[in-house]
Amino acid sequence: MSVLLWGMGALAVAGGTFAAFAPREPVKTDVRFDADQLDGGVDAWLAASEARVPGIRAGAEKRVLWADASEEQTEWAVVYIHGFSAAPDEIRPVPDLVAQGLGANLVFTRLKGHGRDGPAMAEATVEGWMEDVAEALAIGRRVGRRVVVMGTSTGATLVTLALHEKMAAEVAGVVMVSPNFRVADPKAALITWPGARWWLPLLAGREIGFEPRSAAHARLWTTRYPSLSVLPMGAAVRAATRRRHENVTTPALFVFDPGDQIVDHRVSRKVAARWGAVAEVHEVTLGPQDDPSRHLVAGAVLSPDMSAPLAEVMLDWARRLSPKGG
């Protein structure tokens, strides 16, 4: 036993020494998107850029659903940012219902590495995701005079980071659906530690994943991926929770189930309480017919009965936004 304890102590010392010098996952959030690239048409830009990415699953592409005529600007635009390992359709028809209620064009992005096969998830970086968000916000401004952004889970994490950068300067309001400011599993904190790219595969294995709950769940989500894929997510969450949310000037609506087994919403409440602009919190309680993890609080795939009522809550909130977003 003494030999074992000595070995564990030596490992801890070695790990501490390594952590002191090992790098953390890079976090770059102050990215730019040149909106002049959209001058040839939004649809043409997205079609060309997505055509350069191999293996995108049908329906997972970046796209705009036009309220009326193609390329015609509307008063409102709704921009949707999906969560980790998911795809643009993850809580549809909620974004569609909100967009229809506002007469808005609807912008779907696809985060880097997503909507493809499992190995592609390893291509993800925080910077790459923020580039996708910056592009989506620029498109939102191009197709709508006022922009509401909706982010789910880690999508809401990225929206939060964007609000601290120039890319989101003209956003009228944000809807945070089950925002990921802390993963519920305490062990998830390990993925933010220095040197995680070296030791995570040794502890968790080269691949991780989950069992889909339905054929639609399997089709829309990437259910197995390299374990290293979670590192940008952990880095984004760590960065978002450390921002000074008192400086945010964009109104927000937080929507979540306190019983969420994926995300710890005690932290979501703290973020909402520190929000510099008006922040409303709408808590729901999912039933036995809804997402068993109580994370995806709406959407045809996991919580279909919640879609219409939550869309109405979001519409009511959006209609109360002032012309200047306050």
User: What percent of the chain shows pLDDT beyond 90?
Assistant: 84
Cβ burial of 50 (10 Å; 0-12, 13-18, 19+) is: middle
Average the pLDDT over 24-50 and give the result: 96
Q: How confident is the model at residue 204 (pLDDT cuts 50, 70, 90)?
A: confident
pTM confidence score: 0.92
Average the pLDDT over 131-140 and give the result: 99
Region of 71 please: left (phi>0), alpha (psi -120 to 50) or beta. Answer: left
- What domains can be seen in the chain, in order of their start residue? 37-321 (3.40.50.1820)
Q: How confident is the model at residue 18 (pLDDT cuts 50, 70, 90)?
A: low
How much is the pLDDT for 22? 77
Q: Are 272 and 299 in contact (CB under 8 A)?
A: no
How much is the pLDDT for 228? 95
d(CA 166, CA 8): 47
